[in-house]
């Protein structure tokens, strides 16, 4: 009998303080739906669900016939399940970590180093940069999801410099003037002017930041109280961030970075050196296996402003939505394939009128999350079909095709992470 290549997983919840509380959290709701034993504490944040073999959150195997307890242990013994190219390229490890995030309060303003910088940072400061790998990330909205991503077009930043004098004060007249002048110039001048402005802001003295932020908060609050609309300077968001992180320099980042409001199914891709922050909502996220994050605000964690200012891509752009492509083989499949080797995410949306659906075999290990619907899964190496409902997570070994029987009338929504080399 061939080794069983498909089995359900019980995944690890991380209760970080920024997560949504109790059953407000999609993470908690998925958990409660898939596991009737799970008790959700309404006074606890359910921030992340980790679907993978990371040592700090190795998924448990829900199958007593398999002798290994966790996915990491199983993969160590069954290397072929990774797929031949993946096994060789990533030294016998699953190259990605798949997650669900439920964000209540903003996560830090951050960027992730490319491989070259990651190696350097890890060598210089391993206590802050725990490994030598890059960490590209992709977030796909499950509910409406708000985040900051990449630098805004220069015209927008220049407009904020006029409309928000507190912001201009921190940047200073010289840098602000230089940015305005760069508007009709080449991309090199734009990048250098933008870097100068952003660095001035981030390196402002704490005392001055607090003063200017208090002035801005007071001004917005008074205008709002008087019934005036302050949305041209994102008044509501500024007040909200200031409430979450009083006096934090990161509150001003909304005037530099694009504000994205993703609808379910829409995605953003965070390549190396792109500044970003998740603000609110639920998403699935996939990332390369790494913990390297350079932070500079909206966080109580270690911040490294000089490294962040130095490393960022100072490329203004409005287009930050990452678009999936439609599969030619499968009308229900959308593929989010970022320009990095480490991972690809697929979204499968199958109408309830379909009774049977085949999950395509790929030359990579996969992890599948059921967000909506009920199925039973069978494959050549599985003896008894595996029932899965909303919140269910399935591991699929490389080159294994899985057929799903849908329980009518529910539509089926699933996400799959894999590595297509």
List residues near Zn ion by CB under 5 A: 137
Closer CB to Zn ion, 7 or 129, in the complex: 129
Q: Are 20 and 45 in contact (CB under 8 A)?
A: yes
Using the minimum distance from each CB to Zn ion, give the nearer residue, 48 or 137.
Answer: 137
Q: Which DSSP symbol is given to 80?
A: G
Among residues 206 and 301, whose Cβ is nearest to Zn ion? 301
Q: Closest distance between Zn ion and the C-beta of residue 112, in Å?
A: 6
Whole-number Å distance between alpha carbons of 361 and 398 = 7
| Active-site residue (options: 295, 320, 347, 416) | 295
Rounded least distance, CB 305 to Zn ion, Å: 17
Give DSSP secondary structure letters for 131-200.
Answer: -S----EEEEESS-EEEEEEEPPHHHHHHHHHH-HHHHHHH-HHHHHHHHHHTTS-HHHHHHHHHHHHHH
Distance (Å, whole) CA 146 – CA 256: 16
Q: How many CB atoms lie within 10 A of CB 162?
A: 11
CA-based nearest residue to 415, from 48, 146, 140, 8: 140
Q: Which residues of 377-407 are buried (b: 16+ CB within 10 A; e: fewer)?
A: bbbeebeeebebebbbbbbbbbebebebebb
* CA angle (106, 24, 48) in 5-degree steps: 55
Distances in Å between the Cα of 366 and the Cα atoms of 46, 151, 263, 308 are 24, 33, 25, 33
Residue 320 known to be catalytic: no
User: Least separation, in Å, of the C-beta of 110 and Zn ion?
Assistant: 5
Q: Which residue has the tokens 């075999």?
A: 361
Taking the complex as a whole, the smallest distance from the CB of residue 324 to Zn ion amounts, in Å, to: 20
In the complex, the smallest distance separating the C-beta of residue 47 from Zn ion, rounded to whole angstroms, is 14
Query: In the complex with Zn ion, which residue's Cβ is closer, 99 or 416?
Result: 99
For residue 137, say whether it is annotated as part of any ligand binding site.
Answer: yes
Q: How far is the CB of 135 from Zn ion (least distance, A)?
A: 7
5 labelled ligand-binding: no
Please tell me the distance from the alpha carbon of residue 119 to that of residue 129, in angstroms, as a whole number.
9
DSSP classification of residue 250? G
Q: Give whichever of 137 and 271 is closer to Zn ion, judged by the CB atom.
A: 137
- Closer residue to Zn ion, CB minimum distance, 275 or 373: 275
Q: Is 276 annotated as a binding residue?
A: yes
According to DSSP, residue 55 is labeled T
Q: Residues forming the annotated binding site for Zn(2+)?
A: 110, 112, 137, 276
Give the residue numbers annotated as catalytic, written as ranges: 295
């Amino acid at each position: 009998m061939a080794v069983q290549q498909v089995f359900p997983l019980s995944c690890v919840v991380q209760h970080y303080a920024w997560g949504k509380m109790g059953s407000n959290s999609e993470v908690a709701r998925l958990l409660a739906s898939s596991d009737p034993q799970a008790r959700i504490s309404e006074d606890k944040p359910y921030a992340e669900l980790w679907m993978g073999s990371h040592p700090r959150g190795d998924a448990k195997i829900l199958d007593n016939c398999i002798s290994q307890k966790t996915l990491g242990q199983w993969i160590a013994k069954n290397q072929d399940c990774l797929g031949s190219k993946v096994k060789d390229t990533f030294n016998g490890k699953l190259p990605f970590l798949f997650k669900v995030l439920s964000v209540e309060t903003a996560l830090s303003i951050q960027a992730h180093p490319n491989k070259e910088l990651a190696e350097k940072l890890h060598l210089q400061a391993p206590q802050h940069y725990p490994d030598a790998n890059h960490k590209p990330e992709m977030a796909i909205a499950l509910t409406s999801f708000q985040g900051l991503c990449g630098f805004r077009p220069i015209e927008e930043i220049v407009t904020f410099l006029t409309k928000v004098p507190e912001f201009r004060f921190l940047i200073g007249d010289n840098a602000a003037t230089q940015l305005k002048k760069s508007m009709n110039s080449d991309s090199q001048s734009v990048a250098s002017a933008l870097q100068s402005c952003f660095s001035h802001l981030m390196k402002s003295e704490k005392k001055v930041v607090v003063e200017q932020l208090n002035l801005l908060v007071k001004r917005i609050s008074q205008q709002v109280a008087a019934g005036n609309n302050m949305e041209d300077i994102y008044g509501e968001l500024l007040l909200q961030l200031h409430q979450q992180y009083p006096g934090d320099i990161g509150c001003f980042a909304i005037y530099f970075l694009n504000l994205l409001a993703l609808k379910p199914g829409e995605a953003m891709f965070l390549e190396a050196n792109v500044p970003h922050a998740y603000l609110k909502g639920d998403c699935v996220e996939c990332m390369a296996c790494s913990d390297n994050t350079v932070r500079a605000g909206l966080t109580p964690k270690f911040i490294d402003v000089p490294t962040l200012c130095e490393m960022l891509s100072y490329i203004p752009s409005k287009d930050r939505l990452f678009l999936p492509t439609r599969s030619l083989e499968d009308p229900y499949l959308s593929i989010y394939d970022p320009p990095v080797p480490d991972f690809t995410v697929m979204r499968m949306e199958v109408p309830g009128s379909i009774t049977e659906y085949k999950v395509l075999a790929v030359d990579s290990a996969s992890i599948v999350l059921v967000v909506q619907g009920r199925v039973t899964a069978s494959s050549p190496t599985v003896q008894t079909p595996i029932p899965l409902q909303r919140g269910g997570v399935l591991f699929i070994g490389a080159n294994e095709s899985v057929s799903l029987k849908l329980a009518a009338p529910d539509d089926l929504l699933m996400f799959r992470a894999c590595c297509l080399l």
